[in-house]
A and B are shown apart, each in its own frame.
Chain A
Amino acid sequence: MIGILRYHLMSLWVRRVGTSLSVFSIGMAVGILVLVLSLARGFELSLVDTGREDNILVLRQGASSEGESGVTRPKWRALQTYPGVAVDASGDPLASAEIYAAMNLNKADGGTANFPLRGVMPATFRVRDTAKLVAGREFTPGTNEVVVGKALLGRLAGCSLGGALDTGGVMWPVVGVIDGGGAAFDSEIWCDVEVFMQVFKRQVYGNVILRRATPAPAEGPDPLREMLENDLRLDAKTFTERGYFREQSGPLGTALKFVAVFIAGIMAIGAAFGTAVTLLASLAERRREIGTLLALGFRPHHVVLGFLCEATALGLAGGILGVLLALPVNGVATGTMNWKTFTEQAFAFRITPDVVVLAVTFSTFVGIVSGLLPAIRASRVPPSVALRG
């Protein structure tokens, strides 16, 4: 059985033009699939991999994101000293009050877009330590100084060490750069929370982030979070920091995947038809060869499998081609709107192994589907008729 494959693969090779057309059309469909899926994957990774599992994000009851939340100063004071909150070496609680808002800022290439501005306390640098200061220094409390996520460098007007951001007349000197490792913090701007509230006339903080002293139980309810949420003074809703970001990725990631499947699906149907037509034409030319195979003692199912193998090979080659076509964009950064926070979010195309596996599986499937009709046709040819040419 393996031996007869040589005949089928050689047949593909001899009909190079038709073969390449099929491979190319499948490859294009797969290329698009990989592009959009890697976009979705990059987007998810940028959010999913943000934050720590042992940080607790506290929002107002009824708020679904940081931007909608509000936490008053008395509540912040209560949260800061809550039992179960970790303290650093000097005895200060690892807790920080923040405020998060979308800011309309000038892009480097003209135009404006919303970018996330996070007012933070100096303690945030210790609590949200998945974001690392990689250049410059932290801002000086009480000033307009900001640190920016590394993905914003060059994307925003004035966004470089020594430069300054402009929010409609108020200037924000850039003094540091933070690296969130490809995650959400890479697209954020951090300033002093008190300055933020003064400039934008806010009375309350937005959210509080706490480091817990002891890890949450591996299973079952988390007593610390339950206590926080049941404390009537606080009126609080809690997330783990990671869990919160994971939730934020939901709608856009899903939408992108839908687009990927939709566009690639339509292209794949076209590619499958093209491949089926190519195989049928090849079958018509090879009737006598098929008759010969049958005369030699090969059985109809050998012929069916042979044609399916040809189709599978076309699909597989198309899949590999598609991945190769899409590969140059791997890691290329881009931005898109995060529809939950209404801010521009920087992230990169991520062609992860599972995207590759999915793409190649998909193309192989397209190949097999397109080979079904030709294969069944081939097996139906009576040998005595096929031999007449």
Chain B
Amino acid sequence: MLIQVRGVVKSYVKGSETVLVLDGVDLDVDAGEWVSLMGPSGSGKTTLLNLIGGLDVPDSGSICVNDDEMVGRTNAELAAWRSRNVGYIFQLYNLLPVLDAFQNVEMPLLLTNLSRKERREHVMTALDLVGLSDRIDHYPAQLSGGQNQRVAIARAIVADPAFLLADEPTGDLDRKSAEDVLNLLQDLHTRFKKAIVMVTHDPHCAERADRLVHLEKGVIVADT
């Protein structure tokens, strides 16, 4: 078992009222498994993804990755763990606009002990994999949405993490680019056995996964 979420509760305080976002969520993800997470807006999908990635901490419950408990760790520990184990993919790519494609992909490697030359090799491999090795000196503003998302995927995999967390990775793309991105994820999934947890609103996208999980009002209502 790669990821094991047990009885996770998460609420936010907004002004004077408390909003219960996740109300006891259980979820297992096997190594190399691709899970799609669906549900209406506000159902807590992003929140769950952030908890798994250690970007936020639950009020109660437990999250184990590779049998290591994540809950209770310090922010610094979580950050260090994240840099080695999690690849993040966002709806709006979240590339740093001031850096070019190469430099964006290199960012996660700056946290490692790799030499300049080794970093260069890793970055080129990742960009090659997403088919953008001819665009290394392009800035995000000079690339299409689909290309930007592919750069972001290269960044997510460059440090060779165990799993990818993707929050509506095709939400901002046209059909064709969305298809490219899904094919790319498929490729990473089959060839490199990456586990993927992908939030999506699009049933067509969700079908590409091994498993479909429905979240509604903070609880999982269907798991197929």
Q: How many A-B residue pairs have CB under 8 A?
A: 76
Q: Which residues of A contact B86 (CB under 8 A)?
A: 297
Q: Is B33 engaged at the interface, CB distance under 8 Å to the other chain?
A: no
Q: Which residues of A contact B147 (CB under 8 A)?
A: none
Residues of A within 8 A of B50 (CB): 383-384, 387
Stretch at the interface among B1-9, B103-111, B168-176, B193-201: B103-111
Chain A minimum-CB-distance residue to B107: A296
User: When chains A and B are docked, how far (Å) is the Cα of A10 from the Cα of B107?
Assistant: 14
A288 to B95, CA, bound (A): 10
**A7, A292, A384: the one within 8 Å of B94 (CB):** A292
Give Cα A257–Cα B80 distance, bound, in whole angstroms: 50
Give the contacting residue for B53; candidates A1, A11, A288, A295; CB below 8 A: A295
- Within the complex, the shortest CB–CB distance from A384 to chain B, in Å, comes to 4
CA A295 – CA B79 in complex, angstroms?
A: 8
- Give A288's nearest chain B residue, CB to CB: B94
Contact A4 B94 (CB under 8 A): no
Q: Which A residues lie within 8 Å of B111 (CB)? A: 296-298
- Are the CB atoms of B83 and A297 closer together than 8 Å? yes
Contact of A10 among B53, B84, B88, B98 (CB under 8 A): B98
A296 touches B88 (CB 8 A): yes
Query: Does B55 reach chain A (CB closer than 8 Å)?
Result: yes
**Contact call B94/A382, Cβ cutoff below 8 A:** no
> In angstroms, how far is the closest chain B Cβ from the Cβ of A299?
4
Given the contacts A4-B110, A6-B103, A295 and B88 also touching, CB distance less than 8 Å: yes
Q: Which of B47, B83, B94, B106 contacts A3 (CB 8 A)?
A: B106
Given contacts A3-B106, A10-B98, contact A296 B83 (CB under 8 A): yes
B108 adjacent to A297 (CB under 8 Å): yes
Query: Whole-angstrom distance from the CB of B137 to the nearest CB of chain A?
Result: 14
Contact B98 A294 (CB under 8 A): no
Q: Most chain-A Cβ atoms within 10 A of its Cβ — which of B50, B81, B86?
A: B50
Is there a chain A Cβ closer than 8 Å to B28's Cβ? no
Which of A1, A289, A295, A298 has the most C-beta atoms of chain B within 10 angstroms of its own C-beta?
A: A295
Given contacts A296-B108, A384-B50, contact A7 B96 (CB under 8 A): yes
Does B55 lie within 8 Å of A387, measured CB to CB? yes
Question: Total interface residues on A, using CB and 8 Å?
Answer: 26
- Asked whether B75 lies within 8 Å of A6 as measured between CB atoms, the reply is no
For window 75-91 of chain B, which residues contact chain A by CB distance below 8 Å?
75-76, 79-84, 86, 88, 90
A170 interface hit (Cβ, 8 Å):
no
Q: Are B79 and A6 in contact (CB under 8 A)?
A: no
Task: Check if A6 sits within 8 Å of B99, measured CB to CB.
Answer: yes
Instruction: Tell me which residues from 174 to 198 in chain B have a Cβ below 8 Å from any Cβ of chain A.
Output: none
CA distance A298 to B111 in the complex (A): 7
- Considering only residues 38-96 of chain B, those with a C-beta below 8 Å from chain A are 47, 50, 53, 55-56, 75-76, 79-84, 86, 88, 90, 92, 94, 96
Would you call A218 an interface residue if the criterion is a C-beta within 8 Å of the partner chain's C-beta atoms?
Answer: no
Q: CA A291 – CA B90 in complex, angstroms?
A: 11
In the complex, whether B131 has a CB less than 8 A from a CB of chain A is no
Nearest residue in A to B79 (C-beta to C-beta)? A299
- Quick check: A383 and B56 within 8 Å, CB to CB? yes
Tell me the bound Cα distance from A299 to B84 in angstroms: 13
Given that A292-B94, A296-B108 are known contacts, is A7 also in contact with B75, CB under 8 Å in the complex?
no
20 contacts between A and B (CB under 8 A): A1-B110, A4-B110, A7-B96, A7-B98, A13-B98, A14-B98, A289-B94, A292-B96, A293-B107, A296-B83, A297-B80, A297-B81, A297-B82, A297-B84, A297-B111, A382-B56, A384-B47, A384-B55, A384-B56, A387-B55
Chain A residues with CB under 8 Å of chain B are: 1, 3-4, 6-7, 10-11, 13-14, 288-289, 291-301, 382-384, 387
B-to-A contact residues, CB < 8 Å: 47, 50, 53, 55-56, 75-76, 79-84, 86, 88, 90, 92, 94, 96-99, 103, 106-108, 110-111, 155
